[in-house]
Amino acid sequence: MSEKNPVTTIWDYLRWRGDLPLTCDGFNEVDNLLLCIVSYIDFRRLTQLKSFDPANAMPIGEVCALLTEEDEQLGLSPEDYIPVMRAMAASERFGDVKMFAFESSNDEEKVMQFAAVSFLLPDNSVFVAYRGTDTTLVGWQEDFNMSFLTAVPAQLRATEYAKEVAEVTPRKVLRLGGHSKGGNLAAWAAIHLPEKLQRKRLAAAYNNDGPGFAKEVLESEAYARIEDKIHTYIPESSIVGMLLEHAEEYTIIDSTNHSLMQHEPLSWNVLGNQFIYLGQRSEMAQLGDSVVREWLTNMSVEERKEFTEALYSILSMGGKVKTLEDLQSGGLSGSLALVKEYIGADENKKKVINQIIKRLATDVRGELRKAAEEKLKTAEQSLRQAVFERKNSK
């Protein structure tokens, strides 16, 4: 019997392959994920890092030396990411990397949550890393808006940001990447770059468990030009990366976590210089994909817009709550305030939320019942076959 490969994560990758410089062993998908993880860290205190001039780029080790606990990552994960960055800075592989062009914006008026940072790599390339959704409610509202808007402000800014970075690094190969919403931004920016930049300098765009796009984007000429440059990775059971549509080929990967927690990038399994690939999504994940897609398909654009606005209004308690931490810190009193906000909402908002949640619940029950019936049918067939074989063997 063959021995199963040991389960390893990016920590093991840094320990075992961190001594191989990029000039000896080329850039790979695991390197992409590590740089995307760094983009979640809060660099707002570091003024020099905000410069878009590559001459002012800071060595990754110098950046690490300035970080404290208050700068920890702003994503939804409970994990600490600064230790990952410090391990990268201590390695031969990433020790010579420089960082610049940090940008972070949360604009309630525009409904935009955007953050990115760029890396100058020793292989004469530049990597743009877009941050995923953070804990601000405006970030979540923007994510919901993707279901009915042709483009959200963060996507438009992602394209402009990539063009600005490309302009100040004219002779470098360009790679874009992001995790979660950041992965969607990376792919979006790649699709909407000028054609010359797409053909001449863009090497790859990495969508690490981020949502896909509406059909019209996937059927565009711009998308067709770079489809083979978009690399999409989706864990076996995660649901985030299957939102909207993926026309590109995507790779199913393994994780040490289960269900929704597979979205956490530190849990992704690695073998050598790539993720551990699986043949297909888990059965429950496939069921979830079909339910979510069916749900979105059955909603009109206007319904999606009304649902998003009503839900945001109630969650933000009329604009008084700004972050998920604010909601959570309220404890029981916060929950009661949320209920009170819902009860006090106008009848149209309540009606929209009730109707759509009821429809989703009905779809889920129907799909689960259908799956259970199929399982029962398969079990009965297997039982009949076993009985038949036992009779014939006598």
- What is the C-alpha to C-alpha distance for residues 245 and 219, in angstroms, rounded to an integer? 11
Which burial class, exposed, middle or buried, applies to 68 when counting CB atoms under 10 A from its CB (0-12, 13-18, 19+)? Answer: exposed
pLDDT given for residue 81 in this prediction: 94
Collect the ranges in the chain with pLDDT lower than 70: 1-7, 134-145, 147-149, 238-248, 260, 280-301, 303-394
Neighbours of 283 (CB within 10 A): 11
Q: Which residues contact 74 (CB under 8 A, 6 or more apart)?
A: 40, 41, 42, 115, 131, 134, 135
| Residue 151: per-residue pLDDT | 85
User: What is 161-221 written as a DSSP string?
Assistant: HHHHHHHHSTTSEEEEEEETHHHHHHHHHHHHS-HHHHHHTEEEEEEES---B-HHHHTSH
* Region at 284 (left for phi over 0; alpha for psi -120 to 50; beta for the rest): alpha
> Given this model, what pLDDT does residue 177 score?
98
pLDDT at 332: 46
Euclidean distance between CA atoms 310 and 303, whole angstroms: 10
Paired sense of beta strands 112-121 and 98-107, if any: antiparallel
Q: What is the pLDDT of residue 215?
A: 79
Q: What is the pLDDT of residue 367?
A: 45
* Cβ proximity of 266 and 37 under 8 Å: yes
- Torsional class of 382: left (φ above 0), alpha (ψ -120 to 50), beta (otherwise): alpha
Greatest CA separation for the chain: 84
Q: CA-CA distance, 234 to 68, in Å (whole number)?
A: 32
pLDDT tens digits for range 251-286: 889 998 877 678 889 999 999 999 999 876 555 545
pLDDT the model gives residue 59: 98
Would you state the pLDDT for residue 344? 59
Give the pLDDT score at 2. Answer: 39
